[in-house]
Structure 1
Amino acid sequence: MSKVARIPGYQSKNPKQNRGIIGDREIRYKCSLQNVILDVLRGRPGWTEVPGDGDWDFYWCDREWLHQNYDTMFLHEHQKILHFRNHYELTRKNLMVKNLKRLRKQTEREQGKTEAQSFDFYPTTYELPSEYHIFVEEFKKNLGIIWIMKPAAKSQGKGIFLFRRLKDITDWKKGEYQPLSDQTRDVPETYVVQRYIENPLLIGGRKFDVRVYVLVCSYNPLKVWLYRGGFARFSNTRFSLDSIEDTYVHLTNVAVQKNAPDYDPEKGCKWSTQQLRKYLAAKHGVDKVQKMFKSIDNIIIKSLQSVQKIIINDKHCFEMYGYDVLLDSDLKPWLIEINASPSLTASGKEDYDLKFGLLSDLLNVLDLENRLTGKEKRIGGWDLLWDDGPIVADDNMDCTPANGSAVSTPNSYLGCFNDRKKQLREIYLTAQSVKKS
């Protein structure tokens, strides 16, 4: 059996217990992507790919398919499908900020300004063209600073540009500015304009952001898992504010950086989150770094709570988000955007291994085979962060930094080491004994 066909996890000596089974039949899946997730699904024991319009138990679909078919589907009790119906309330840049602003105002009204300050993790943002005049007022109060324009519904750095002068977006405001691919449109597409973070934390003189994976199994009640692994994406060119037109300096997206003249595809521009955590702890101290990671937990929970009441909750749906977080020179994390379809195409062996483990463990969390108890706090690389309230870590689940000191009690271990294969074997053996008793 090839390495792709072996999934990390508990393997019983009884072959029947290694099969993916719902009741008396094997699990049937569909997948609309041709990348790591398809390898994971094809390598999962007992799971069978169904062609065409065949009946399925699990469907890793794309967003477009869901939007076209969700309202006409009838889902059986056991079926699971990727994406909630209106996931875009969190993943469109303009709607994400709109929902965060609304919850912040509500929090300030009900709990006071001090508690509302816990939402101070996204840059000053306006939607254009609808908030153009409000933006102009803010712009004139802060002459000389840099702003960044982004299409509200695009990814991979498409259509983004930086500017210092108001006249740089005059053509856009008039409806004349259009990316080449959109010149047939009658009106400008929606953009967001944000205050650019001019003091990013640099490593080796280069800017980077952090990709964090978050799994939401339910919005009502809110149940959130955080994956320990992830990566920092570096720009290929040393940071400078002198050349704001150079995308290789300011945008860390791999889709942008891979086109840089001196890009090395063998090395890429990534560090694992574990590497990043070790580096930051050595340079800035364990306490500061732990505080920073705790702030990322806050970003995740507050952002999900901002849409908790408006997402169409469906027990058949789940979502794996890719959060992009930027650290500034004070180690303060800023939420840049949230992706509903983070890239699952591997850029190299390490990236493949990360995403293979990530997706394998996601299926372990969903547990279509019904092999777990449902009370687990950790499954492979996923740690349960929130289940209708914060989850507190067990004593034996420490993330121990390089200096050997223990960290705080929330069940959050982003960037911490985890022997996922060993852990999976242990929880499956434990679950097996619990179910027998």
Structure 2
Amino acid sequence: MNKIGKYNNVNKPNWKRGIGDRTIRFKCSMQNVIMDVLRGKGWIEAKEDETDFDFFWADRNWMKEYFDQCYMDEHVRINHFRNHYELTRKNLMVKNLKRYRKQLDREVGKLEAAKCDFFPTTFELPSEYHMFVDEFKRCPGSIWIMKPVAKSQGKGIFLFRKLKDITDWKKSDVYRIRDDKTDDKEPPETYIVSRYIERPYLIGGRKFDIRIYVLVTSYIPLKAWLYRSGFARFSNTRFSLESIDDTYVHLTNVAVQKTAPDYDPEKGCKWSMQQLRQYLTARYGIETVEKTFQLMNDIFIYSLQSVKKVMINDKHCFELYGYDVLLDVDLKPWLIEINASPSLTASNQEDYELKYGLLEDVICIVDQENKLTGKEKRIGGFDLMWNEGPVLADDGGADCINPPTYSTNTFLGCHNDRKTQLQQLKKQLAAAKKH
């Protein structure tokens, strides 16, 4: 059964309009929730070989092969930046963060640079293999995690404690470090190796990470939005360091967990961001949880700042990033990775409703239909957190359960009354147009 429409009994605000007298033409490379959203707009779907379109939800391969060859009218919008991989390819993300941390240390000072210490000690292999070995020997008994830089859904990931494990692995056909004694018929696949976070925060004895959505509509100037909703993804098996080979214990990816024998696709292994925030607040109090969520805000802003100068800014482009964050036992958030193509396939009705609302709000902000003033600080479930500087909150958190007391315009895990907000915004824009 085609998954499009399987969960599409969602209340959808009727907010449609074309460019001038012409209905918007769209293309979409994916057959999942985003296709439902685009069709729900009442726009016209362009054929696969057509080059006349106004909006294109493209895959990364299309960007690589065709973006530089296309002429696009000023109003055309596409859902990736040309070199998005500077932030979303695991090795490049770490390289840019390390460089930015050194820049802050040099220009501002160590206190500011320390705010970038939200990613584990990481090395790229093969280029930094000997540096990794030196660090490994300084920390005997530590657990490390290996990840291929260009794969997703947990593919190719493994944990190890002994240097022998990686020595045997690098001699295999999968990976070979070039030196004078090896042939170079094929290049080695690039991996990163990171210190494993051995003391993650557990709920019900299970490890989890958090998927958070950030929308960037421009890098010059930097303009970024944070979505109020997201979810925590739990492992299917209780956490233990005794067996580091058990992927159901250590990897929270849905693609991995759904293969577990007792996985329930309707229940999944997820909590909403609102559930997680309420749980943590009940256990640790508002002040402690605020500090944790403020540290998450720092992750989003500093990571985006780290690529601002290298990202190819293009007025046609925007990007919806899926951030994966892990909490340790001290409630410190750690950045695990950033996804340029976060999954838009729904696993159940609740997941469908989250992703439908998320994508509908993305399209509202991109404003293909020319409705917005450009001064909005909230649109649907998104709050504007950075506009070439931090955005301060006004009364936007009044409807938040345990609202933050700090002044940044971010309300991650707060009440997401996006439908009501869109209706209010529509009335405000209509009233402003009359005047």
Aligned partners of 2:227, 2:28: CA distance in 1, in Å? 22
5 Å matches for 1:15-414? 18-45=15-42, 47-54=43-50, 55-174=52-171, 176-178=173-175, 186-398=186-398, 400-402=400-402, 407-414=405-412
| Alignment gaps of 5+ in structure 1 | 12-17
Q: 1:283 to 1:397 in 2, by over 3 A?
A: closer
Aligned partners of 2:219, 2:404: CA distance in 1, in Å? 32
Deviation at 1:112, TM superposition (A): 1.0
Secondary structure at 2:409 match in 1: coil
Secondary structure at 1:215 match in 2: strand
Deviation at 1:401, TM superposition (A): 2.9
Alignment of 1:423 with 2:421, yes or no, is yes
Secondary structure at 1:103 match in 2: helix
Map Cα deviations across residues 18-68 of structure 1 (whole Å, 9 max, x no partner).
5321112011100010000001111113x1111122211000010001100
Answer whether contact 2:396 2:409 (CA < 8 A) is retained. Answer: no
Aligned partners of 1:360, 1:139: CA distance in 2, in Å? 46
Aligned partners of 2:169, 2:71: CA distance in 1, in Å? 43
Answer whether contact 1:322 1:339 (CA < 8 A) is retained. Answer: yes
Q: 1:5 to 1:74 in 2, by over 3 A?
A: farther
Secondary structure at 1:306 match in 2: helix
Map Cα deviations across residues 82-118 of structure 1 (whole Å, 9 max, x no partner).
1001000000100000000000001000111111100
Aligned partners of 1:372, 1:194: CA distance in 2, in Å? 43
Secondary structure at 2:233 match in 1: strand
Aligned partners of 1:153, 1:398: CA distance in 2, in Å? 42
Alignment match, 1:14? none
Q: 1:413 to 1:176 in 2, by over 3 A?
A: same
Deviation at 1:406, TM superposition (A): 5.3
Map Cα deviations across residues 336-362 of structure 1 (whole Å, 9 max, x no partner).
000000000001000000000000111
Q: CA RMSD in A?
A: 1.7
Aligned partners of 1:214, 1:77: CA distance in 2, in Å? 24
Normalising to structure 1: TM-score of the pair?
Answer: 0.93
Q: 1:7 to 1:87 in 2, by over 3 A?
A: farther
Q: Which amino acid in the other structure matches residue 24 of structure 2? A: I
Aligned partners of 1:185, 1:354: CA distance in 2, in Å? 47
Deviation at 1:6, TM superposition (A): 6.9
Q: 1:78 to 1:6 in 2, by over 3 A?
A: farther
Map Cα deviations across residues 258-295 of structure 1 (whole Å, 9 max, x no partner).
01122122211000001000001001111111111111
Alignment identity in percent? Answer: 65
Aligned residues: 422
Answer whether contact 1:172 1:188 (CA < 8 A) is retained. Answer: no
Q: Which amino acid in the other structure matches residue 431 of structure 2? A: S
Alignment match, 2:181? none
Alignment match, 2:430? 432
Aligned partners of 1:396, 1:129: CA distance in 2, in Å? 48
Q: Which amino acid in the other structure matches residue 84 of structure 1? A: F
